[in-house]
């Protein structure tokens, strides 16, 4: 905890406009004095559970964890802050600059900032071992991601609070944030490069950290090691500030060489410049303002629209690292034995597994019942709390489980039916094409035979006309049938 306290103080001293909250899960611990910017909080498990904030970390046990308390505090109690970062204690943020760079870039407009996510469109439970935690908690599509470090807007936190009020418990956190986000069109999701190193049960070494000194890293569980690494990474970025070869000068040189057609420099080593600018930008980007990084993105993209694949690849990678764009791409680049891979951002929501015009009557009825169930629970919670109301709410929440299960089953049946219909349509089209081709081939053969017969007659009666007739007749037939 001392290492956490030190870093919290560093953050507040660097930027006075933020508040740092340290949640202590053990209520027997005596808390240090709270400063004006660093706040220590402890919450009662019974109260959190009463309002449905339980099961986020261990959905099978339905116990109240630190995650449940944190979500209770920031989605229900403390609704003042417009954007909240949830960061687990084993996440290494290399410097206060690395934090503020990401915060400034995305907190004013994005709703969910996280590592890369996966999607299950129709609830078939493929590709991820923990999809089962989404069953009967959400209708498809489902989505998940690592959330050891995740940023949430007030809008998303309000949606989480509404979900808990309706269902009476939290889903598994790796499913919670992403699934609510992908099912709501107004939510903007971002997966920046800096969070690509938030991983599950993986070991990092210092060399990996030095290659990406502004990334956030998980897991790093040794507090002493975190402190040592943070100091080393801070020294690396400080040394780069004095470098004569900075990102802007390198970019200017590349632009002059590539865009100025009047400039001919046969000694210009473009490959060397591309390698250097990738490394240099990685060192410098945390010190750049959000405005500067957006402007750099424009310049990088401009250079990426050339007929040189290596240049395009590098510039598009730099553009996404500067400021993530509202589209989805995967880029892989290897520079000086370091591999770079990232997924950028998603704006909007994942398309429903079945479009509105393809929904069955039962699908529409189940949707209507589920929406009615939600309204009734919310209305009862707003009303006077009585024993009968509590029992009725419990019955409605159990009914919601059955409705979600039934609707998920219906969606899967619809998609299966649509898939078979598409295959049937393709088979019918293929069969028609084969029949059509066969008919045309037969007709063409008959015409050729007739042409040969006529030509033979002409040979007997007027050999001179054979050549003219054959050319005319065959050209007309070919133009018609082919």
DSSP of 199-222: -SS----HHHHHHSTTS-BB----
* Res 341 pLDDT > 70: no
**Residues 6 or more apart whose Cβ sits within 8 Å of residue 329:** 316, 320, 343, 344
Is-cis flag, bond preceding 397, omega within 30?
Answer: no
421 or 29, higher pLDDT: 29
* Res 396 pLDDT > 50: yes
Q: What is the rounded distance in angstroms from the CA atom of residue 104 to the CA atom of residue 322?
A: 12
Q: What is the pLDDT of residues 299-315, one digit of tens each?
A: 999 999 887 888 999 99
Cross-strand pairs, 347: 188
Q: What is the pLDDT of residues 181-192, one digit of tens each?
A: 999 989 999 999
Q: What is the DSSP letter of 32?
A: P
User: In this structure, are residues 220 and 89 in contact, taking their beta carbons and an 8 Å threshold?
Assistant: no
The H or E element spanning position 59 is: none
Three-state secondary structure call for residue 260 = coil
Res 200: pLDDT: 92
Q: What is the rounded distance in angstroms from the CA atom of residue 221 to the CA atom of residue 209?
A: 15
436 or 158, higher pLDDT: 158
Q: Calculate what percentage of the chain has a pLDDT beyond 70.
A: 80
* Res 337 pLDDT > 80: no
Q: What average pLDDT is seen over the chain?
A: 85
Q: How much is the pTM?
A: 0.82
User: In this structure, are residues 240 and 282 in contact, taking their beta carbons and an 8 Å threshold?
Assistant: no
CA distances from 273 to 300, 387, 427 (A): 14, 72, 54
Residue 432, classified by CB atoms within 10 Å of its CB into exposed (0-12), middle (13-18) or buried (19+), is exposed
Res 464: pLDDT: 53
Helices marked H in 260-386: 270-284, 290-304, 309-322, 361-382
Q: What is the pLDDT of residues 14-62, one digit of tens each?
A: 887 899 999 999 999 998 877 778 999 999 999 999 999 999 997 777 7
Q: What is the pLDDT of residues 212-253, one digit of tens each?
A: 999 999 999 999 999 999 999 988 887 776 665 699 999 999
* Res 467 pLDDT > 80: no
* Res 123 pLDDT > 90: yes
The H or E element spanning position 88 is: none
Q: Per-residue pLDDT averaged across 420-445, rounded? A: 66
Res 429: pLDDT: 64
Largest Cα–Cα distance of the chain, in whole Å? Answer: 119
């Amino acid at each position: 905890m001392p290492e956490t306290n030190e870093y919290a103080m560093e953050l507040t001293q660097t930027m006075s406009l933020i508040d740092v909250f340290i949640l202590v899960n053990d209520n027997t611990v005596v808390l240090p004095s709270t400063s004006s910017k660093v706040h220590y909080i402890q919450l009662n498990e019974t109260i959190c559970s009463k309002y449905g904030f339980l099961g986020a970390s261990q959905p099978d046990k339905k116990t109240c964890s630190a995650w449940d308390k944190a979500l209770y505090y920031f989605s229900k109690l403390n609704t003042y802050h417009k954007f909240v970062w949830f960061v687990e204690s084993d996440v290494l943020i290399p410097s206060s600059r690395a934090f503020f760079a990401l915060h400034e870039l995305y907190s004013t407009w994005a709703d969910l900032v996280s590592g890369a996510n996966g999607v299950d469109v129709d609830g078939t439970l493929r590709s991820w071992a923990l999809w089962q935690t989404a069953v009967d908690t959400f209708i498809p599509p489902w989505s998940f991601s690592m959330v050891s470090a995740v940023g949430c807007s007030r809008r998303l936190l309000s949606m989480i609070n509404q979900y808990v009020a309706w269902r009476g418990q939290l889903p598994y956190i790796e499913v919670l944030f992403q699934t609510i986000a992908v099912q709501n069109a107004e939510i903007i999701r971002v997966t920046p490069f800096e969070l690509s190193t938030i991983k599950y049960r993986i070991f990092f070494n210092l060399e990996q950290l030095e290659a990406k000194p502004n990334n956030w890293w998980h897991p790093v569980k040794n507090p002493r090691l975190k402190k040592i690494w943070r100091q080393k990474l801070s020294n690396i970025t400080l040394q780069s500030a004095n470098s004569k070869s900075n990102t802007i000068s390198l970019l200017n040189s590349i632009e002059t060489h590539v865009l100025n057609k009047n400039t001919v420099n046969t000694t210009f080593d473009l490959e060397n410049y591309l390698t250097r600018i990738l490394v240099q930008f990685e060192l410098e980007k945390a010190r750049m303002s959000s405005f500067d990084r957006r402007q750099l993105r424009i310049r990088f993209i401009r250079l990426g629209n050339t007929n040189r694949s290596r240049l395009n690849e590098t510039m598009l990678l730099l553009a996404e690292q500067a400021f993530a764009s509202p589209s989805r791409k995967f880029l892989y680049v290897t520079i000086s034995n370091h591999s770079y891979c990232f997924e950028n951002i998603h704006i909007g929501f994942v398309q429903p597994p079945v479009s509105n015009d393809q929904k069955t009557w039962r699908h529409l009825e189940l949707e209507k019942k589920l929406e009615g169930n939600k309204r009734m629970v919310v209305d009862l919670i707003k009303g006077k709390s009585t024993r009968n109301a509590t029992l009725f709410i419990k019955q409605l929440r159990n009914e919601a489980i059955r409705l979600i299960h039934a609707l998920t089953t219906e969606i899967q049946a619809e998609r299966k039916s649509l898939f078979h219909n598409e295959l049937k349509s393709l088979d019918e089209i293929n069969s028609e094409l084969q029949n059509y081709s066969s008919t045309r081939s037969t007709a063409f053969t008959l015409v050729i035979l007739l042409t040969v017969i006529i030509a033979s007659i002409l040979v007997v009666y007027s050999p001179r006309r054979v050549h003219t007739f054959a050319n005319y007749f065959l050209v007309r037939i070919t133009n018609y049938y082919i």
